[in-house]
Amino acid sequence: MVESCVIGSVRFIGSSQPVDIAVAQGRIAAVLPARNTHDDASATWVIPGLWDYHTHFTQWAYTLGRLDLIDARSADEALDMLRAHLAERRADGTLDPDQYVVGMRFRHSLWADDAQPTLAAIDAVTGDQPVALSSADMHCGWVNSAAARKLGVHVGESGLVGELEWFDAYCKLDKGPGAADELMRLLRNAELDAASKGVVGVRDYEMAENIDTWIDRFSQGLDGLRVQAGVYPERLQQAIDDGWHTGDELPGSHGLGHVGAMKMISDGSLNTRSAYCSTPYSGIAPETFGTLSYTPEQIESYMKLATEHGFDIACHAIGDEANTIVLDCAERTGAHGSIEHAQMLKERDIPRLARLGLAASIQPQHAMDDRDVITRFWGNPAGIPYAFNALRKVGTKLLMGSDAPVAPLDPWMAISAAVFGTESSDREPFQPEQCLDFATALASSTAIGRTTLKAGDAADLVLLNADPSTVRTPESMRSMPKHVVGTMLAGRWTYQRR
């Protein structure tokens, strides 16, 4: 930690008056009128450090070293990318026949009906090399026969492994000699990448023993971010027995790591047509409404257990019916925390989050990724998809994130999607009535819920050489990481542009 310093002559967004920010003992000691000023050409702006409120951080780190299939527009294109990846691995001698080759982020929900995954096609490309590909939303996998045998899963003609079975299988992919060292290298890269975008903290909902995992990581010097480590329902009782509560500091983290909320997945996802809805999916036969991952009674029981033992909840709910069930359970148990995603809400449920004191943890980039899928599979919705502004208007606290690796860990991408409703100036906004103003989007991406800093705040801040509040296009907002000149975490620089 830097004991003390003064960050001189910087401006808060939207302000022309420069200030000096004094930092001491990891906190903002004072914000004072600047003693020295610079002209506009050399101005530097300061914002609070950015947070990503929903990540699967290990899986995001892996995307920095694994095959990324996000740009594939068909199964054939995905397999062409896989074929090239395997050839490259063979050429450099890193292809181990006993280890899985893992790919990430294929989006078969956007592929034509005659361009879908098949077991025969992936087997033809891969042979006996075990290969497992994860969908962009991480709710299903596409595996070859060799990987299916090794994972102990059954696959039919599609080669697809469904949701709950895939969650279990995916956790088996990261075992093997040298895996721990490789992961630590990727985690350090991921922390630096995040800091270069102005990120100072994440909520991590990795499907793992997150508390012990992050205690170990901090002990190894992985300390580039603040981390709130989520606990899944099946591990909740053990966490309770071990004496943990939401907010407890993780030993050895020097105040950077804390126990997070109980993360529960109540239903599936839109892209796998498993988000639980009150009306059937359009264009799907046989008719389906999606699925619940737990019964309503189980959801309520876990919420009750969490609440009675000092845990917040972070409950994944995407379909409108899943959201109704989750809100009903929260109301009966007095649970506090957040609804994760809240992608489709019945109009009558929109005010309930604020009334129950629950935050909406939203991922605006998902709306950009899903806008075409919505018209395909939610053609007759009973609720409002991606109701960001409607939630804001009724006073719901918004927390913005990425769900990385489903979308990149990049708050500027989320802010751009929330503000402009489109990725391109050439395409009309998606649901412009649900777009947020910039100040709301930025504040929702910080720990303090503000766009400015004051004395007593943690010394978590970002220096920029451009004022993002003046940006007028989605492309410019998405390019804001190139304007980050420094990121400070608890009074020390985690990133400084050279």
pLDDT given for residue 369 in this prediction: 94
User: Tokens 């969490």 sit at which residue?
Assistant: 306
Q: Which of 360, 403, 447 is nearest to 55 (CA)?
A: 403
Q: Is the pLDDT of residue 179 over 80?
A: no
Average of per-residue pLDDT across 400-425: 97
Give the pTM: 0.88
Going by pLDDT thresholds of 50, 70 and 90, the confidence category of residue 172 is confident
pLDDT tens for 76-92 read: 999 999 999 999 999 99
Angle, alpha carbons 263-265-270 (nearest 5°)? 135
Residue type, 448: I
Q: Are 76 and 125 in contact (CB under 8 A)?
A: no
Measure CA 176 to chain center: 27
Q: Is the pLDDT of residue 423 over 70?
A: yes
Going by pLDDT thresholds of 50, 70 and 90, the confidence category of residue 409 is very high
Q: Is the pLDDT of residue 134 over 70?
A: yes
Average of per-residue pLDDT across 330-339: 98
* φ/ψ (deg, to 5) at 382: -90, 0
- Residue 496's contacts (CB-CB under 8 Å, 6 or more residues apart) are 485, 486, 487
Going by pLDDT thresholds of 50, 70 and 90, the confidence category of residue 164 is confident
pLDDT tens for 187-205 read: 999 999 999 999 999 999 9
Average pLDDT, the chain: 95
Q: Is the pLDDT of residue 2 over 80?
A: no
Q: Is the pLDDT of residue 362 over 90?
A: yes
Q: Is the pLDDT of residue 37 over 90?
A: no
pLDDT given for residue 176 in this prediction: 59
Domains delineated in the chain: 1-43+453-498 (2.30.40.10), 58-170 (3.10.310.70), 182-450 (3.20.20.140)
- Residue 277's contacts (CB-CB under 8 Å, 6 or more residues apart) are 289, 290, 319, 320, 321, 322, 344, 378, 381, 382
pLDDT tens for 216-266 read: 999 999 999 999 999 999 999 999 999 999 999 999 999 999 999 999 999
pLDDT given for residue 180 in this prediction: 84
Whole-number Å distance between alpha carbons of 46 and 39: 16
Residue type, 358: L
Question: Which is it for the CA torsion 94, 99, 103, 108, positive or negative?
Answer: positive
Q: Is 490 exposed, middle or buried (0-12, 13-18, 19+ CB in 10 A)?
A: buried
Whole-number Å distance between alpha carbons of 480 and 417: 13
Whole-number Å distance between alpha carbons of 314 and 166: 21
pLDDT tens for 91-104 read: 999 898 988 999 99
Average of per-residue pLDDT across 396-416: 97
* φ/ψ (deg, to 5) at 303: -60, -40
